[in-house]
Amino acid sequence: MTYRSDAAALSAKSAGCFQACTPSFRAHYARPSNLTIHTTMADITTSAADKKEKEYFTDVPQQAPGFFLKGSHQYDWGLKNRLSKVFNPKDGRTVMLAFDHGYFQGPTTGLERVDQTILPLEPYADCLMLTRGIQRSIIPASTQKAIALRASGGTSMVSPFEEWEGEIDGRKAKFGRPGFEPLSNESTALNIEEAIRLNASLLAVQVFIGSAYERQSLKNLTDLVDAGARYGIAVMGVVAVGRAMARNAQYFRLATRIMAELGAHVVKCYYTDEGFETITSCCPVPIVIAGGKKLPELDALKMSYNAIQQGASGVDMGRNIFQSEDPVAMMKAVRGVVHEGLTPEQGFAMFNDLKGK
């Protein structure tokens, strides 16, 4: 009995199958009898001179650098990549331009024509905070800026509220009873599929700690955190402060910590003149400050500078930019303070130099 190798047996079997085919099939696919194939080892073996020697770097341990953002080292690659578009990896800071006010205020001062006001500012922002309607209708799809998409809403400035008499800055005023803010009755305003379609890096959701709708707004936050986690999209919890709520360090320590504990990747809150460093210290994720009401340019720059010095990872300004005497000059001055280490006075000098040019 003769034993053949598996390769020889397979070759013989293949030849037998070929012979079993129809004559026309064999005639079409058979090798021409006059065809000669010449193969040498040089054809299949690269010479030692031409071959690049492999480098395994056995003496160099693989680097495993931590991510540059506070509290972000455990995130998935895609989420980190999106956050690195919001925050500059060189310094871990951001200048966000907020112009989502129209979702409850309508055409507020400075945003009557978003195309005229905001588009000249777009080149100087790291991230644009906006609604999906403005993103689709105004912002060019060619923008390279990160998108922070407003993801909660449902009420407006004209929402009715119960009367309650109290004080604002020591003056009598009438507004909803303590803890009752009609604007706090928000729901999620888009789903995760829409956020993906709009290529959002960050979803912004308002949270009303201490209001009548605290539970609902926290549920909005956690629902978006869960949805975003499936696709690597970050969520920013925005501390909303009603007219009857105190803006002090104790309140912001509570609000920012709650949102971080419930999964927010970034938190936005107001700056406080006293104790702001305690807010950033006990919040395990990056904090960016809200600009709030319009301030004189030097005061806004001082607020930005102090916040950065006390642990903030950036600013998310709106009215202090687009309501400025010269929005582009102010935008550049804020960038100078946040990213270039300018003092408020240096930033203000930059503003004055650029103003009107």
Q: Which domain holds residue 23?
A: 6-44
pLDDT band at 3 (very low <50, low <70, confident <90, very high): very low
Is 57 inside a domain boundary? no
Q: Tell whether 318 and 176 lie within a shared domain.
A: yes
Q: Tell whether 35 and 81 lie within a shared domain.
A: no
For 150-175, the pLDDT digits (tens) are 998 867 666 655 544 455 556 665 55
List all residues 6 or more positions away from 175 whose beta carbon is below 8 Å from its beta carbon.
161, 163, 164, 166, 243, 244
Is 270 inside a domain boundary? yes
For 170-206, the pLDDT digits (tens) are 666 555 544 455 667 777 889 999 999 999 999 999 9
Q: Tell whether 88 and 38 lie within a shared domain.
A: no
Q: Tell whether 96 and 222 lie within a shared domain.
A: yes
Q: Give the model's pLDDT for residue 164.
A: 44
Number of folded domains in the chain?
A: 2
Is 72 inside a domain boundary? no
Q: Tell whether 29 and 82 lie within a shared domain.
A: no
Question: Distance between CA 119 and CA 145 in Å, rounded?
Answer: 12
Question: Residue 299: pLDDT above 70?
Answer: yes
Question: Distance between CA 343 and CA 333 in Å, rounded?
Answer: 10
* pTM of this structure: 0.79
Alpha carbon 200 to its chain's center: 7
Q: Tell whether 40 and 83 lie within a shared domain.
A: no
pLDDT band at 348 (very low <50, low <70, confident <90, very high): very high
Q: Tell whether 33 and 175 lie within a shared domain.
A: no
Is 70 inside a domain boundary? no
Bridge-based pairing state of the strands 202-207 and 234-239: parallel
Q: Give the model's pLDDT for residue 269.
A: 96
Where in the sequence numbering do the catalytic residues fall? 268
